[in-house]
Structure 1
Amino acid sequence: MNVLVRQAAEHWHFVAPVLRKPKTEADYDALVVALDELLDLMGEDENHPVTSLVDIIGDWIEAYDEEHRPMPIASGVDVLRSLMREHGLTQSDLPGVGAQSVVSEVLSGKRQLNLRQIRWLAERFGVSAEVFI
């Protein structure tokens, strides 16, 4: 057995609680706490010795989130509402979509965005047109 493997085995009981994929919410919560502490320890040093451990734990947390807390799929109208709220806009502030009544119909689901409107919104908000499709 090489020295590195032997040392890892001898110290495994100290490391094992941190190096375990989360199977429960408690496991997940413990990994999040460990990740926060490791990030505090690292600071801005991307070459810190624990960087690879941070990567591993971050990947496990992300995988758990994707499996247990999938992101809901937002419609183009949901995205538009969110962007309007974020930017403090009213229906009248979107002339590229149309008159206030047209924007109202889009937001209420009575009308769908057309390609011209989608392009204008993408340009207006600096996002990909795909978010409105």
Structure 2
Amino acid sequence: MPTIDIEKTRQAWTNLKQILFIPRNESEYEQLVIMLDNLIDEIGENENHPLASLISSGLIPRRSRRTIEK
């Protein structure tokens, strides 16, 4: 099992905690939905995109605004 570099993890988390979080209300949930929509726009069908695994990680809600409006 690889060891975790705590300092690198701390630095990464400092940058990511503003966009990766558990939503506590509808407004925060909508922020994550918008981020997912933006990721889908960026990644498209490219499974080799560096951020593709973020979509399937479960860290971002799967319901997107596009799905709601249809």
Tell me which residue corresponds to 1:40. Answer: 41
Bigger radius of gyration: 1
Which of these residues, 38, 58, 61, is aligned with residue 58 of structure 1?
61
1:28 Cα deviation after fit:
0.4
Percent identity of equivalent pairs: 33
Question: Could you say which residue in structure 1 is the equivalent of 2:4?
Answer: 2
TM-score by length of 1: 0.38
The answer to which structure has the higher helix fraction is 1
Q: Secondary structure at the match of 1:18?
A: coil
What stretches of structure 1 of length at least 5 have no aligned partner? 63-133
Over 3 Å off, 4+ runs: none
**Residues 24-82 of structure 1, C-alpha deviations (whole Å, 9 max, x = no match):** 011101001110111111122022221221122135x59xxxxxxxxxxxxxxxxxxxx
Tell me the matched-pair count. Answer: 60
Between the aligned partners of 2:49 and 2:9, the Cα distance in structure 1 is: 19
CA pair 49-27 structure 1, distance change in 2 beyond 3 A: same
TM-score using structure 2 length: 0.65
Query: 1:20, 1:35 → 2: CA distance?
Result: 13
Q: What is the correspondence of 1:25-36 to structure 2 with a 5 Å cutoff?
A: 25-36=26-37
Alignment of 1:1-133 (within 5 A): 2-3=4-5, 5-55=6-56, 56=58, 57-59=60-62
Q: CA separation in 2, counterparts of 1:15 and 1:28? A: 16
Aligned-pair RMSD on alpha carbons?
A: 2.3
